[in-house]
Amino acid sequence: MKKHFANHLKQVEELNITAFMNLMVILVPFLLITAVFTEITILELNIPALDAIQDKPDAIKLQLELVLRENSFDVQDGNIGLIKRFDRSKGETNWELFSKFLLEIKSRFPAEKNITLLVEPAIDYKTLIRVMDYVRNADVATGLRVESYELFPEISIGDASPATH
């Protein structure tokens, strides 16, 4: 009986983990190299001033506002009101026309860097970010080159008042 028990102990073998360790040595660096790390872009936004004091009352001071509505984008001056309305159908916008109009405003007021985005709750986040990209700079194709122009990089965000039309 004692001999039978001794034979049983000799049959137990050690676990060979060499193949598993080789797999880990190759797999871990491969996963670390091919991993895509998240990129976060941070935009600095300004809070609009409640009481803007003008230095020269005679000078024309543009207070550019862009009201993002579900069916339109309204470009307006805070002092005089609506300048132009860009109609949207089913959430689609004519971005080329929108960009050209912003370039025209920038050519008339080259020193202006501020714009206020007034957003209705129905506007989704993706549209807001896309509008912010178009408002900050514009790409213009001239011949075989595409040039980027800075438009209104200092962006303020607020809530839009309900539409009155």
Residue 82 has pLDDT above 60, yes or no: yes
Q: How far apart are CA 72 and CA 68, in angstroms?
A: 7
pLDDT band at 3 (very low <50, low <70, confident <90, very high): low
Residue 146: partners with Cβ closer than 8 Å, 6 or more residues away: 139, 140
Residue 138 has pLDDT above 70, yes or no: yes
Residues 149 and 81 reside in one and the same domain: yes
Q: How many domains does the chain have?
A: 2
pLDDT band at 38 (very low <50, low <70, confident <90, very high): low
Please report the beta strands in 69-142, taking only residues with DSSP state E, as ranges in sequence order. 72-77, 81-87, 114-119, 137-142
Q: Which pLDDT tens digit goes with each residue over 45-73?
A: 666 665 554 455 555 678 889 888 888 88
Query: What is the average pLDDT value for the chain, to the nearest integer?
Result: 80
Residues 73 and 131 reside in one and the same domain: yes
Q: Is 133 among the domain residues?
A: yes
Residues 83 and 135 reside in one and the same domain: yes
pLDDT of residue 30: 85
Residue 153 has pLDDT above 80, yes or no: yes
